[in-house]
Amino acid sequence: MIRPDSFVYPAIAPAEPDAAVTLLVVRDTAQGLQVLLSRRNAQARFVPNAYVFPGGRLEPDDALLAQQATQAAGQTPQQAQLAAAALRECYEELGLLLARDAQGQMPTGAMLAAAGMQRHAPLAAQLQAQGWQLALEAVLPFAHWTTDRDYPRRFDVPFLIARAPAEQDAQADGFEQFDALWISPQDALQQHQQGQLLLVYPTIRTLERLADFANTEAVLQACQQGPVMPPSCPRVGLKNGAEIRLMEHEPGFGELHMVCPSGEPGHELAWQHERAVPLLRHIQRLTAPNAGIMTGPGTNTYLIGEPATGYVVMDPGPADAAHLQRIVALTGGDIRHIVCTHSHPDHSPGAAPLQQLVVDTGRAAPRIAGMASGPFARADSYFRPEQTLRTGDTVVLSGVRANGESIGHTLQAVHTPGHAANHLCFVLQEDGLLFSGDHILGGTTTVVIPPDGGMQDFLDSLDRLAALCKEWQIEFILPAHGHVLDQAGSVIAQLKAHRLKREVKVLQAIEQVPNGALDDWLALAYADTPQALWPVARLSLLAHVQRLAALHPQLGLQAIAMPEVALAPH
């Protein structure tokens, strides 16, 4: 757990969300699927003038409505009450009543008028008088949203979906809602982008998902198995100074979770190379200006420490003079240790020149620590540290703050071969954080490059990291490329599952073309990958083939050649 006094932004106290419900009402037209939106009152306290789906808070009458209706198979009392609330809100706001008479038919608009139904009178008594029941079985789950933590009013809202009644017209009540609008998801999103239709974030993301379906039957069939969107409580951040919101699966969400756990606004997610990004009071990330297909936005150099303790610089990156000068400026030159996760040219070449820059300031030379490159390392990856680190070794900073408080930061090394033979990850013990180097990346899967790397080593190292995450209760991973990741255990499990799933495709390709070469199998096993990435994918393919050769000698793959890499002469 991160030390509570370590956060950069002052904590806020998010408001407790109120229970509410929303209903997507959909219909088919000659132009395709449409959904019903209406504009909220300009005086509303929550998202005034925004176009939304019908919905609102639960009311005491909703439980009675649910009891009066026949519940769908497998529907719990709570689900029935939510469905009843959604149908009630839809009728009150837009005049559409999803109910059934004794013959199981939905009332027409003329029948509603003849019955004298009043949209804002208690609905349970009116339905009972007509002998009607709400059509709870017509309501299915679509999504579940919880309002972002930075909003003063928050709601916990299941988004349900139902087909519109065929012979009723939608009319806004003119009090809560105005301008009832049937529109395709695509048109709604386009009009929003053009500034013609104000939409809030959950509505936008819901419309984006709804746009994946061709018609009502397709979306309702998909919802039979449960919500088609994962539950989400988005987080707010900045990108080039503009406010953005991210869902849990999107790059940057994990970083916002770590840096702004209570939803504090203000953290910048856009990549740049001139300034360090504060992640915690004692962790800064300075990204090297070496963006590319293999490095993503660039190599993350982590500055761990504070003025009271001095600093550890992890992965100084390439020997880029401007980048190294920024490191010295940010640390005041008080660098106690330089640590390299591995010897690849985007990680370790800056170590020696950084050390010299520190000496030039008149300070003692920090020791360069890590693990020496292996015998099959590429020529551009030759590395010999002054201090060899092995699993369990630690790099320690300690000091006393101005207020007299003793403070320490302890990095524990763990050897994780696979991407490279000399790859190390580090656990920051006091905060339970994992620095993953290139073994786990933010936003992509690391390449495994034989003969210095190996797929079996890579998978074994993932198991080792999974055990460490349990031991240290690690939630966040700080990779050498990309944003901070949260849910560390799940990330590792998904990465391993991805590699094994890819290996199944490799095996299928080999079985399909048993006498083929690597490039034959590449086209089959990586058919879902852009061809521009195939040269990189070919390396991981070889790593899978070599693992399969060891696991299944009957395949006769033992003669697969080593990749065409320049080996270092050592």
- Given a cut of 80, is residue 194 above it in pLDDT? yes
Q: Identify the pLDDT of residue 19.
A: 94
Q: Identify the pLDDT of residue 561.
A: 52
Residue of 166, 164, 167 whose CA lies nearest to 110: 167
- Given a cut of 50, is residue 126 above it in pLDDT? yes
Place of tokens 């030159």: 333
Percent of the chain residues topping a pLDDT of 70: 98
- Given a cut of 80, is residue 73 above it in pLDDT? no
Alpha-carbon distance of 355 to 339, in angstroms, equals 11
Domain match, 278 and 329 both: yes
- Least confident interval from 111-120, 186-195, 471-480, 550-559: 550-559
Half-sphere exposure of 94 (CA within 13 A, CB side): 32
Q: Identify the pLDDT of residue 332.
A: 97
Domain match, 526 and 450 both: no
Is residue 8 a part of any domain in this protein?
no
- Given a cut of 60, is residue 563 above it in pLDDT? no
Q: Tens digits of per-residue pLDDT, 198-211? A: 999 999 999 999 99
Q: Identify the pLDDT of residue 75.
A: 84
Is residue 568 a part of any domain in this protein?
no
Q: Residue 557 — very low, low, confident or very high, per pLDDT cuts 50/70/90?
A: confident
Domain match, 336 and 414 both: yes
Domain match, 366 and 409 both: yes
Is residue 107 a part of any domain in this protein?
yes
Which CATH number characterizes residue 62's domain?
A: 3.90.79.10
pTM score over 0.75: yes
Q: Tens digits of per-residue pLDDT, 268-293? A: 999 999 999 999 999 999 999 999 98
The percent of the chain in helix, strand and coil, each rounded to the nearest 5, is 30, 25, 45
Q: What is the DSSP letter of 96?
A: -
- Least confident interval from 67-76, 90-99, 174-183: 67-76
To which H or E segment does residue 536 belong? Answer: helix 534-551
Q: Tens digits of per-residue pLDDT, 309-350? A: 999 999 999 999 999 999 999 999 999 999 999 999 999 999
Q: Do residues 164 and 146 make contact, with C-beta atoms less than 8 angstroms apart?
A: no
Which CATH number characterizes residue 425's domain?
A: 3.60.15.10
Q: What is the mean pLDDT of residues 521-548?
A: 94
Q: Residue 558 — very low, low, confident or very high, per pLDDT cuts 50/70/90?
A: confident
Number of domains, the chain: 4
Range of the domain at 30: 18-223
Is residue 570 a part of any domain in this protein?
no
- Given a cut of 80, is residue 72 above it in pLDDT? no
Is residue 409 a part of any domain in this protein?
yes
Q: Tens digits of per-residue pLDDT, 16-37? A: 999 999 999 999 999 999 999 9
Domain match, 378 and 401 both: yes
Q: What is the mean pLDDT of residues 531-539?
A: 93
Domain match, 60 and 173 both: yes
Domain match, 264 and 281 both: no
Alpha-carbon distance of 134 to 112, in angstroms, equals 14
Q: Identify the pLDDT of residue 569.
A: 31
15-48 in b/e burial notation, b at 16+ Cβ within 10 A? eebeebbbbbbbbeeeeebbbbbbbbeeeeeebe
Q: Do residues 137 and 72 make contact, with C-beta atoms less than 8 angstroms apart?
A: yes
370 — alpha (psi -120 to 50), left (phi > 0) or beta? left
Q: Tens digits of per-residue pLDDT, 497-508? A: 999 999 999 999
Domain match, 250 and 199 both: no
Is residue 429 a part of any domain in this protein?
yes
Q: Identify the pLDDT of residue 555.
A: 85
Average pLDDT score over the chain: 94
Q: Identify the pLDDT of residue 567.
A: 37
Q: Residue 111 — very low, low, confident or very high, per pLDDT cuts 50/70/90?
A: very high
Domain match, 324 and 414 both: yes
Domain match, 357 and 484 both: yes
Q: Tens digits of per-residue pLDDT, 239-276? A: 999 999 999 999 999 999 999 999 998 999 999 999 99
Is residue 416 a part of any domain in this protein?
yes
Half-sphere exposure of 444 (CA within 13 A, CB side): 17
Domain match, 210 and 318 both: no
- Given a cut of 90, is residue 570 above it in pLDDT? no
Domain match, 458 and 507 both: no
Is residue 161 a part of any domain in this protein?
yes
Q: Identify the pLDDT of residue 56.
A: 94
- Given a cut of 70, is residue 564 above it in pLDDT? no
